Amino acid sequence: MPRFYHDDPAWSDVEPIAQDDGGPNPLAAIAYTDEYSEAMGYLRAVMANNEYSERVLSLTEHIITMNPAHYTVWLYRARALEQTDTSLADEIAWLNPTALMHLKNYQIWHHRQTIIDRLGSPDGEADFIATMLGQDSKNYHVWSYRQWLVKRFGIFDDKELAWTESMIEEDVRNNSAWNHRWFLVVGGRGGQGVSEDIVKREIEYAQTAIRKAPQNESPWNYLRGIIRHAKLPTSTVKSFILAFADLEKPDEVYSSHALDLLADIYIEENKKDKAMKVLDLLANKYDPIRAHYWNYRKGLLEETGAVG
Amino acid sequence: MSLVSGPGRGGMTAIPAELQLFVDKHVRYIQSLDTRKDELEYWLTEHLRLNGLYWGLTALHLLGHPDALPRQEIIGFVLSCLHGNGGFGAAPGHDAHILYTVSGVQILATLNAFDELEERVKDGRKKIGQYIADLQDPETGTFAGDEWGERDTRFLYGALNALSLMNLLHLVNVDKAVEYVQSCANFDGAYGTRPGAESHAGQVFTCVGALTIAGRLDLVDQDKLGAWLSERQLKNGGLNGRPEKKEDVCYSWWVMSSLAMLNKLHWIDGKKLTSFILQCQDPEGGGLADRPGDMVDVFHTVFGLAGLSLLKYPGLAEVDPV
Nearest to A56 by CA among A68, A44, A71, A46: A46
Residue A102: what pLDDT? Answer: 82
Residue A303: what pLDDT? Answer: 84
Q: Tell me the CA distances in angstroms from A25 to A20, A75, B4, B75, B226, one per residue in order.
A: 9, 26, 17, 20, 49
- Which residues of chain B have a CB within 8 Å of the CB of A221? 187-188, 243
Question: Between helices B270-279 and B251-261, what is the axis angle to 10°?
Answer: 150
Expressed as residue numbers, the domain containing A255 is 245-308
Can A200 be counted among the known catalytic residues? no
Domain boundary among A41, A61, A85: A85
More confident residue, B129 or B95: B129
Residue B277: what pLDDT? Answer: 96
pLDDT greater than 70 at residue B13:
no
Of B97, B187, B245, the CB nearest to A225: B187
Q: Domain for residue A95, yes or no?
A: no
Task: State the best of B148, B183, B255, B273 to mutate against chain A, taking most chain A CBs within 10 Å.
Answer: B148
Q: Verify whether the Cβ–Cβ distance A22 to B80 is below 8 Å.
A: yes
Residue A216: what pLDDT? Answer: 96
CA dist., res. A57 & res. A76, Å (int): 9
* Chain A 106-125, residues with CB within 8 Å of chain B CB atoms: 106, 110
Of B39, B47, B188, the CB nearest to A29: B39
Q: Verify whether the Cβ–Cβ distance A21 to B187 is below 8 Å.
A: no
Is A66 part of the contact surface with chain B (CB cutoff 8 Å)? yes
Is B120 part of the contact surface with chain A (CB cutoff 8 Å)? no
CA dist., res. A41 & res. A131, Å (int): 35
Nearest to B12 by CA among B234, B235, B285: B285
Q: Verify whether the Cβ–Cβ distance A20 to B38 is below 8 Å.
A: no
DSSP for residue A283: I
Q: ipTM score here?
A: 0.86
Is A139 part of the contact surface with chain B (CB cutoff 8 Å)? no
pLDDT band at B46 (very low <50, low <70, confident <90, very high): low
- Which residues of chain B have a CB within 8 Å of the CB of A227? none
Per-position b or e across A108-125, b if 16+ CB within 10 A of its CB: bbbbbbbbbeebeebeeb
Q: Domain for residue A35, yes or no?
A: yes
pLDDT band at B185 (very low <50, low <70, confident <90, very high): very high
The answer to whether the CB of B264 falls within 8 A of the CB of B310 is no
The answer to whether the CB of B146 falls within 8 A of the CB of B97 is yes
Domain boundary among A55, A85, A115: A85
Residue A30: what pLDDT? Answer: 34
- Say how many C-beta atoms besides its own lie within 10 A of residue B191's C-beta: 32
Residue A258: what pLDDT? Answer: 98
- Which residues of chain B have a CB within 8 Å of the CB of A138? 242, 245
pTM for this entry: 0.88
Q: Domain for residue A110, yes or no?
A: no
Is B194 part of the contact surface with chain A (CB cutoff 8 Å)? yes
More confident residue, B43 or A156: A156
Of A27, A33, A140, the CB nearest to B40: A33
Domain boundary among A24, A54, A85: A85
Among candidate residues A104, A151, A200, A212, the one labeled active-site is A104
Q: What is the DSSP string of A149-177?
A: HHHHHT--SHHHHHHHHHHHHH-TT-HHH
pLDDT greater than 70 at residue B41:
no
Q: Domain for residue A260, yes or no?
A: yes
Q: Domain for residue A268, yes or no?
A: yes
Question: Can you tell me the mean pLDDT for B253-263?
Answer: 96
Q: Verify whether the Cβ–Cβ distance A69 to B242 is below 8 Å.
A: no
Question: Can you tell me the mean pLDDT for B11-32?
Answer: 80
Residues lower than pLDDT 50 in chain A: 21-32, 306-308
Task: State the best of B35, B39, B44, B101 to mutate against chain A, taking most chain A CBs within 10 Å.
Answer: B44
β-pairing, B296-297 vs B288-289, is: antiparallel
Q: What is the mean pLDDT of chain B?
A: 90
Q: What is the DSSP string of B178-238?
A: HHHHHHTB-TTS-B-SSTTPPP-HHHHHHHHHHHHHHT-GGGS-HHHHHHHHHTTB-TTS-
Q: Verify whether the Cβ–Cβ distance A187 to B46 is below 8 Å.
A: no
pLDDT greater than 70 at residue B253:
yes
Q: Tell me the CA distances in angstroms from A134 to A103, A127, A128, B200, one per residue in order.
A: 11, 11, 10, 21
Q: Verify whether the Cβ–Cβ distance A69 to B47 is below 8 Å.
A: yes
Q: Domain for residue A180, yes or no?
A: no
Nearest to B135 by CA among B167, B93, B94, B173: B173
Q: Nearest-CA residue of chain A relative to B266?
A: A292
Nearest to B222 by CA among B177, B281, B267: B267
Q: Domain for residue A34, yes or no?
A: yes
Number of folded domains that form chain A: 2
Q: Domain for residue A65, yes or no?
A: yes
- Which residues of chain B have a CB within 8 Å of the CB of A21? 91-92
CA distance B94 to chain A (A): 7
Nearest to B145 by CA among B105, B101, B185: B101
